[in-house]
Every structure is written in structure tokens, then in C-alpha cells.
């Protein structure tokens, strides 16, 4: 069987794989990207129909290319984003081979590098980069048995309201996905319950500037560690409907029923934690702290920005907050669908190398794994808060390309004839 040889193999042709390809090409490193579907496939087929970027087009992009024919302050649709990456791949002449799945990677026996089994044959590579996404396998908590009589769907499989059976919907999880999907379902006339956990909800814009700008100048995208105790705090933002601040009270006023964290299920009845008001208060505190920090930044830097006192007005608590539902008989409430917007797990079943902890989590430092030659890219918090986002992964990719070049130069030294002369003389 013939074996294809390549210096560096990138697994995954999403934004992470393309960013690394750009940096490797600039540094003259021969490489290949294998993508099991199409470029930026997850944006095309693993997101709901109406999804738009959470950040404006001037921000949610790579530094080298703008979105063509698109208002930079608007929010690109998922198709626009996928098309952007296809154009980008063309622009940087990325060596992408689509419809090839990497099935197994392991260290070569009796030689350097890795043996890679793909759906199209064998490849040998000195370096392998896992760029297979921050959000790989949908995570549904084991709370409600599969045969309980309700449609249970992860946000990853949700497309639009028409896809769901008639009836009310409980959306579990109020991060950006959950809150946007719940809003869409409510606007489509569904009775909607939203289970709200701890969250941050930055203002969509403040004093005329989008929150992505404020988080940027305040250095928050560069934060290197999740604050202690905030590991499970999600961020609720939305570019939908032109981009609006996520405001749970406004959603409740429009007819959504907010509930606390979903905790148990027994005999058709779901129980919710008594934490709704606390979770919303925590989101408010985060919201106001961003405004405070923004004001302080504006003063310190002498920015002449319009005042925005209305931003600080927080409406009265709705009844579902002051007198929260603690138990819901799903059948009595006509709930037919439970939509889990509860996040994702990693899935590195194809990567059989020694760099995972007992929970299957990759062990790495800024993407450099414990197995020399294996790298990770695009994971949440790989090096900083922005790592899994479009603008952040590009910078992590640059760092990894540097590391790969450095390692190549060490190996080149090892193989150099000069070194052989030196060693033969000693």
C-alpha cells in the first residue's frame, strides 16, 4: 500500500485549520489539511438556519481579509461565514483535501513521526495538528430517559421552529445558543420555557460601541484563565435581529417563562433549582461591571463618547422571577420538546497518542501537547479567552506555526552534515 508523506498534517478544515495553514505557508512548512466534509462545515450544517455571528463583521474575521459586500457593523449569517472561509482558503491557496476523514493517528513504530490512517489511505507526518473544533460532541445531561415521551434535541441539531412537533418547548441552557433559540421559538408563537443558569450578559453596545470593542480594549479577550469559580458561567450574547443586549426581563415580558437550573426528573415532572433570581442578579452585576469598566476606560483615555444612562436601567423583575416555578409537569404544560443548549464535549477518539488525562481532556500548553509533534488548535481557552473564536484562533495558529518551525530547525540541525563532521571528530 502506498503511503503519502507530508511534514505537517492538519486535521480539520475549519477556521483553525485554515489559520494555521496560512501561517505555515508563510514560513515555508509543507503541509496538508484533511477535512472530512467541506471547508467550515460546522458553520454550514451544524448550526440553526437563522444563526448570525455574535460579533459584527469588522471583528469576527481574520485580520487579512474583510467580508466582501457586507456592512462591517452587521452580523454575518452562518452561510456568509462559511463562504468567507471558502474564499479565504482560496486566497491563501490552502492545501485542503475535503471528504477525507482521519480515523487514527499513532506514533510510528521504529521511526519518527506519526502513522495516520484516513478514509483514503495512509499518510505519514512529522507533526499532526488537531484542529477539529472547540465544540465536537453535543453534550446532553443524563436527566430525562430517552423513552420518556418527549423529543429531546441538542442545539446542534436544531434548525428552525417548524422542525419541532406542535406544543411548548423547554430550552435548557441560557448561553448564546439557548437564549437565541428560545427567543426564536417564542417569536414563532411557541410557549417557551427557558432554564437559566449562571451567565454573563455584556451589553450589545454601550456609548455607541459594540461590546466586542469594549472587551477588546479592556483586555478581556486576552484573559488567560477562567476566573476561579466561574468555570461554568456561560456568556449570553446575540447578533440576531440586528444585535440586541440579552435581557431576560424583556424576554419574560414578551411571554417567555424563565426557570432556574434544571435539576431532576421524576414521573414526568422536572424540578428546577431555586437559583433563577441569583443567576439573573449575577448576569446584571456582570453587565453593570462592564459599563463601569467602560466608563473608567473612557475617562482614562479621554474618549469623547456619547453618554448612555439608559443602558443602566434594569426593569422590574417579572412574576416568573419573583415567584419562580420549581416543578413542571411536562405533559400538563404541553411540553413536547426539550431542547438542550448545554454545550459540547471533545472527542479525540481518533488520536491515539499519550497526551490525554483520565477524563480524556487533552494535556497541552498553549496547544503544544505532551507528545512531541502533536498540537491542538481552536480549543476553548487554548491560550486565552478568544482562542475558540474566529479572531482569536488566528493568533494561536501563529504561535503554533512558530513552534513547528522551531522544532523543524532543531531537527534540521540534528540531520545536518556539519553536525555529523563534528560528532565524527569527537
Ligand X SMILES: Cc1cc2nc3c(=O)[nH]c(=O)nc-3n(C[C@H](O)[C@H](O)[C@H](O)COP(=O)(O)OP(=O)(O)OC[C@H]3O[C@@H](n4cnc5c(N)ncnc54)[C@H](O)[C@@H]3O)c2cc1C
Please tell me the distance from the alpha carbon of residue 166 to that of residue 160, in angstroms, as a whole number. Answer: 13
Using the rule CB under 6 A, is 376 a contact of ligand X? no
Residues of this chain, 276-315, that bind ligand X according to CB under 6 A:
none
Residues 6+ apart with CB under 8 A from 136: 344, 345, 346, 347
Q: How many other CB atoms sit within 10 Å of the CB of residue 361?
A: 13
Residue 293: what are its φ and ψ, rounded to 5°? -65, -35
Q: Minimum CB separation from ligand X for residue 58, in Å?
A: 13
From 23-31, 46-54, 354-362, 366-374, span contacting ligand X (CB under 6 A): 46-54
Q: Minimum CB separation from ligand X for residue 343, in Å?
A: 9
Please tell me the distance from the alpha carbon of residue 336 to that of residue 168, in angstroms, as a whole number. Answer: 6
In the complex with ligand X, which residue's Cβ is closer, 38 or 207?
38
| Binding-site member from 8, 127, 132, 337 for ligand X (CB under 6 A) | 132
| Binding-site member from 6, 9, 10, 12 for ligand X (CB under 6 A) | 12
Cα 321–325–327 angle (5° rounding)? 155
Q: Minimum CB separation from ligand X for residue 263, in Å?
A: 25
Beta carbons of 244 and 238 less than 8 angstroms apart: yes
Q: Minimum CB separation from ligand X for residue 60, in Å?
A: 4
Using the rule CB under 6 A, is 36 a contact of ligand X? yes
Q: Minimum CB separation from ligand X for residue 30, in Å?
A: 19
| Binding-site member from 102, 179, 196, 290 for ligand X (CB under 6 A) | 102
Q: Minimum CB separation from ligand X for residue 222, in Å?
A: 15
From 37-45, 203-211, 278-286, 310-318, span contacting ligand X (CB under 6 A): 37-45
Helix intervals (H) in 151-210 = 176-187
Q: In terms of C-beta density within 10 A (0-12 exposed, 13-18 middle, 19 or more buried), how is residue 104 classed?
A: middle
Beta strands in 361-418 (DSSP E): 364-365, 368-369, 374-376
Using the rule CB under 6 A, is 177 a contact of ligand X? yes
Q: Which residue shows C-alpha cell 460532541?
A: 137
Using the rule CB under 6 A, is 179 a contact of ligand X? no
Q: Which residue shows C-alpha cell 505557508?
A: 25
In the complex with ligand X, which residue's Cβ is closer, 36 or 326?
36
Residue 338: what are its φ and ψ, rounded to 5°? -115, 120
Using the rule CB under 6 A, is 378 a contact of ligand X? yes
From 86-94, 193-201, 382-390, 412-420, span contacting ligand X (CB under 6 A): 382-390
Q: Minimum CB separation from ligand X for residue 216, in Å?
A: 13
Q: Minimum CB separation from ligand X for residue 20, in Å?
A: 10
In the complex with ligand X, which residue's Cβ is closer, 61 or 190?
61
| Binding-site member from 297, 350, 381, 399 for ligand X (CB under 6 A) | 350
Beta strands in 177-246 (DSSP E): 192-195, 199-200, 205-206, 209-210, 234-235
Sequential DSSP letters for 101-132: -EEEEEEPTTSSSEEEEETTEEEEEEEEEE-S
For residue 319, the SS3 value is helix
| Binding-site member from 47, 190, 204, 364 for ligand X (CB under 6 A) | 47
In the complex, the residues that contact ligand X under the rule CB under 6 A are 11-17, 34-37, 41-43, 47, 51, 53-55, 60, 101-102, 131-135, 177, 350, 378, 388-390, 393
Amino acid at each position: 500500500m502506498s503511503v503519502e508523506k507530508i511534514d505537517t498534517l492538519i486535521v480539520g478544515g475549519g477556521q483553525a485549520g485554515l489559520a494555521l495553514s496560512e501561517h505555515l505557508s508563510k514560513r515555508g512548512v509543507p503541509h496538508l489539511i484533511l477535512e472530512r466534509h467541506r471547508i467550515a462545515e460546522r458553520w454550514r450544517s451544524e448550526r440553526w438556519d437563522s444563526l448570525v455571528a455574535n460579533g459584527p463583521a469588522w471583528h469576527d474575521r481574520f485580520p487579512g481579509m474583510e467580508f466582501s459586500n457586507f456592512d462591517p457593523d452587521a452580523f454575518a449569517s452562518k452561510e456568509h461565514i462559511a463562504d468567507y472561509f471558502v474564499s479565504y482558503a482560496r486566497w491563501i491557496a490552502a492545501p485542503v483535501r475535503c471528504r477525507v476523514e482521519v480515523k487514527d493517528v499513532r506514533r510510528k513504530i521504529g521511526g519518527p513521526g506519526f502513522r495516520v490512517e484516513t478514509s483514503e489511505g495512509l499518510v505519514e507526518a512529522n507533526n499532526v495538528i488537531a484542529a477539529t473544533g472547540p465544540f465536537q460532541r453535543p453534550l446532553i445531561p443524563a436527566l430525562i430517559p430517552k423513552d420518556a415521551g418527549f423529543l429531546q434535541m441538542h442545539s446542534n441539531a436544531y434548525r428552525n421552529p417548524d422542525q419541532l412537533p406542535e406544543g411548548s418547548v423547554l430550552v435548557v441552557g441560557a448561553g448564546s445558543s439557548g437564549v437565541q433559540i428560545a427567543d426564536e421559538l417564542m417569536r414563532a408563537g411557541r410557549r417557551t420555557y427557558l432554564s437559566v443558569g449562571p451567565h454573563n450578559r455584556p451589553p450589545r453596545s454601550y456609548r455607541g460601541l459594540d461590546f466586542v470593542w469594549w472587551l477588546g480594549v479592556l483586555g478581556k479577550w486576552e484573559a488567560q484563565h477562567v476566573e476561579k469559580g466561574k468555570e461554568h458561567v456561560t456568556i449570553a450574547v446575540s447578533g440576531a435581529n440586528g444585535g440586541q443586549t440579552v435581557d431576560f426581563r424583556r424576554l419574560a415580558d414578551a411571554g417567555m417563562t424563565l426557570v432556574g437550573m434544571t435539576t431532576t426528573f421524576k414521573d414526568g415532572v422536572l424540578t428546577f433549582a431555586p437559583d433563577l433570581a441569583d443567576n439573573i442578579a449575577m448576569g446584571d452585576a456582570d453587565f453593570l461591571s462592564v459599563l463601569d469598566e467602560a466608563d473608567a476606560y473612557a475617562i482614562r483615555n479621554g474618549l469623547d463618547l456619547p453618554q448612555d444612562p439608559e443602558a443602566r436601567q434594569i426593569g422590574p423583575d417579572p412574576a416568573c422571577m419573583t415567584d419562580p416555578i420549581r416543578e413542571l409537569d411536562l405533559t400538563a404544560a404541553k411540553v413536547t420538546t426539550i431542547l438542550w443548549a448545554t454545550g459540547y464535549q471533545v472527542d479525540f477518539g481518533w488520536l491515539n497518542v499519550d497526551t490525554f488525562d483520565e477524563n480524556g481532556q487533552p494535556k497541552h500548553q498553549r496547544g503544544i501537547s505532551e507528545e512531541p509533534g502533536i498540537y491542538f488548535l481552536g480549543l476553548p481557552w487554548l491560550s486565552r479567552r478568544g482562542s475558540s473564536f474566529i479572531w482569536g484562533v488566528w493568533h494561536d495558529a501563529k504561535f503554533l506555526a512558530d513552534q513547528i518551525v522551531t522544532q523543524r530547525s532543531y531537527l534540521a540541525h540534528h540531520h545536518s552534515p556539519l553536525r555529523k563532521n563534528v560528532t565524527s571528530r569527537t
